[in-house]
């Protein structure tokens, strides 16, 4: 495949074959690229009305389009370019505590008792009316039901909630349509709020290791040595089912126009397109509320040990979502799959971050650093988008192998027990499946430091702080 290196942080796939536009990749010469992920990016650039297709430094093979991909279309909506875990996203809470003031093991074990880890787990069961309010109004809708819920009533604080939703992208509320969500999706989501999920989802208790921009960090309440909490989760079974429901429909709707059968799309103004957008927004609201509830539960556990300490929300940002945005002289459906919006100050007018730029939260992998950045004007060329994480360098099966339920190893993984222990040295790990956890081993991911070097070097975001894990909770 023809790839042209532009500078140390950018490479270009020139327009060729069926491609309608060229495709940019933010990548260094030290980072490897998968042929399959590049072909998926080429396919995205071959969509009939493609305005822009690009890849962030964490690019790796996904379904339909690569993970770490941004695709913009004027009037088309692409379910697979959002993904199955609609509004999977990141949330960062600060504390007034320093590393030597806490026992991260005690706190992690305590949080585990409140927040179920792993796939298929249940926690808060909602009535039909509570679920409707959640899907239609997101975090704002919680004011109409959560303060009266028996599990959440003891955790409720009007002022804290009011402050929180001003620190969430879209204030945690999008125009969700319950009627566009299947009964199966509703059933899957009814009792999953307040659960983490499996795969790469996590809760981490972290220490701020270094601060790169003191002024911005201070404005966000961040300082070196401080303890912070990071939450990574999404829309659980409800969002996954919405993907299951709409991706085949999109493939059928665009069969003769799409460059690949997995890359289906709707016209955004069609009945099916409007339904998908309403369902996607509903799943996004569910994910916002899910992270809000987990934050409330994490606060409860910290406050059990340290009293009623402040634990303000820095920001909550999605990385699997499509939004209608103005760029250049037009407006487009910008799909970010495994990619995070990174608006500069100008585009954050009317929000808490109009003088700083949008906070960007980029985790590495368990055992490695995570980063806090803010968007800049230089991000215009990427439609103000950056990566959502480090990105995989080996598949889950390659990393962990395959094991039967009775414990017999069918295929040996590349991550040995010794490698895993070494990579997690000094980090307290709480997980559900001691074998499957190797899928998420640091060695299965790209070097997050190199990834951040590309983002900053390309001028897409400004580095604010670096955090390191003290304790990790995984499914």
Which of 149, 240, 335, 388 is catalytic? The answer is 388
Token duo for residue 31 = 């980072």
CB-count exposure of residue 453 (10 Å: 0-12, 13-18, 19+):
middle
- Tell me the pairing of strands 23-26 and 52-60: parallel
Tell me the three state secondary structure of residue 176. Answer: coil
Residue located via tokens 């690949």: 260
Q: Is 388 a catalytic residue?
A: yes
Residue located via tokens 């909506």: 77
386 secondary structure, DSSP code? E
Residues in Cβ contact with 454 at an 8 Å cutoff, skipping those fewer than 6 apart? 9, 26, 27, 28, 31, 57
Q: Are 51 and 81 in contact (CB under 8 A)?
A: no
Q: Which residues pair with 11 in a beta bridge?
A: 5, 25
Instruction: Return the ∠ at Cα 119 (arms to 336 and 295), rounded to 5°.
Output: 65
Q: Give dist(CA 82, CA 13) in Å, integer.
A: 22
Q: Where are the alpha helices (H) located in 32-80, listed in sequence order?
A: 35-44
Closest CA to 323 of 310, 335, 315: 335
Q: Which residues pair with 23 in a beta bridge?
A: 13, 53
- Tell me the pairing of strands 4-7 and 10-13: antiparallel
Q: Where are the alpha helices (H) located in 180-235, listed in sequence order?
A: 183-189, 214-220
Closest CA to 285 of 312, 321, 315, 314: 321
Report the chain's terminal Cα–Cα distance, integer Å. Answer: 38
430 secondary structure, DSSP code? E
Tell me the three state secondary structure of residue 472. Answer: strand
Q: Give dist(CA 207, CA 223) in Å, integer.
A: 10
Catalytic residues: 388
């Amino acid at each position: 495949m023809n790839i042209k290196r532009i500078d140390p942080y950018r490479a270009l796939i020139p327009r060729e074959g069926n491609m309608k536009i060229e495709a940019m990749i933010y990548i260094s010469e030290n980072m490897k690229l998968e042929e399959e992920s590049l072909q998926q990016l080429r396919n995205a650039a071959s969509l009939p009305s493609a305005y822009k297709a690009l890849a962030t430094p964490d690019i790796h093979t996904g379904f339909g389009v690569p993970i770490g991909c941004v695709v913009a279309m004027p009037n088309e909506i692409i379910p697979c370019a959002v993904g199955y875990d609609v509004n999977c996203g990141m949330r960062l809470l600060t504390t007034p505590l320093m590393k030597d003031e806490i026992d991260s093991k005690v706190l992690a074990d305590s949080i585990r008792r409140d927040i179920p880890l792993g796939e298929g787990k249940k926690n808060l069961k909602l009535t039909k009316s509570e679920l409707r309010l959640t899907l239609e109004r997101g975090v704002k809708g919680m004011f109409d039901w959560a303060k009266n819920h028996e599990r959440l009533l003891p955790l409720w604080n009007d002022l804290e909630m009011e402050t929180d939703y001003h620190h969430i992208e879209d204030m945690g509320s999008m125009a969700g349509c319950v009627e566009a969500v299947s009964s199966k999706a509703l059933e899957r989501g009814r009792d999953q709020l307040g659960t983490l999920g499996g795969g790469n989802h996590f809760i981490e208790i972290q220490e701020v290791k270094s601060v790169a921009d003191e002024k911005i960090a201070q404005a966000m309440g961040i300082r070196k040595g401080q303890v912070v909490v990071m939450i990574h989760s999404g829309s659980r079974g409800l969002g996954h089912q919405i993907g299951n429901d709409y991706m085949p429909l999109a493939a059928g709707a665009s069969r003769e126009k799409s460059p690949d059968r997995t890359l289906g799309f709707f016209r955004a103004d069609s009945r099916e397109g409007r339904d998908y957008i309403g369902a996607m927004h509903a799943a996004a609201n569910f994910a916002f509320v899910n992270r809000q509830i987990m934050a409330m539960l994490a606060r409860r556990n910290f406050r059990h040990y340290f009293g009623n300490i402040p634990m303000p929300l820095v920001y909550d940002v999605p990385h699997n979502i499509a939004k209608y945005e103005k760029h250049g002289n037009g407006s487009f459906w910008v799909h970010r799959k495994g990619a995070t919006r990174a608006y500069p100050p100008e585009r954050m007018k009317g929000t808490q971050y109009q003088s700083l730029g949008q906070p960007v939260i980029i985790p590495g992998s368990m055992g490695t650093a995570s980063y806090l950045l803010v968007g800049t004007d230089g991000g215009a060329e990427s439609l103000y988008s950056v990566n959502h994480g480090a990105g995989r360098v080996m598949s889950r099966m390659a990393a962990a192998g395959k094991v039967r339920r009775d414990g017999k190893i069918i295929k040996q993984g590349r991550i040995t027990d010794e490698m895993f222990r070494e990579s997690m040295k000094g980090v307290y790990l709480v997980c559900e499946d001691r074998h499957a956890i190797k899928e998420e081993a640091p060695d299965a991911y790209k070097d997050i430091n190199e990834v951040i070097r590309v983002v900053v070097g390309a001028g897409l975001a400004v580095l604010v702080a670096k955090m390191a894990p003290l304790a990790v909770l995984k499914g």
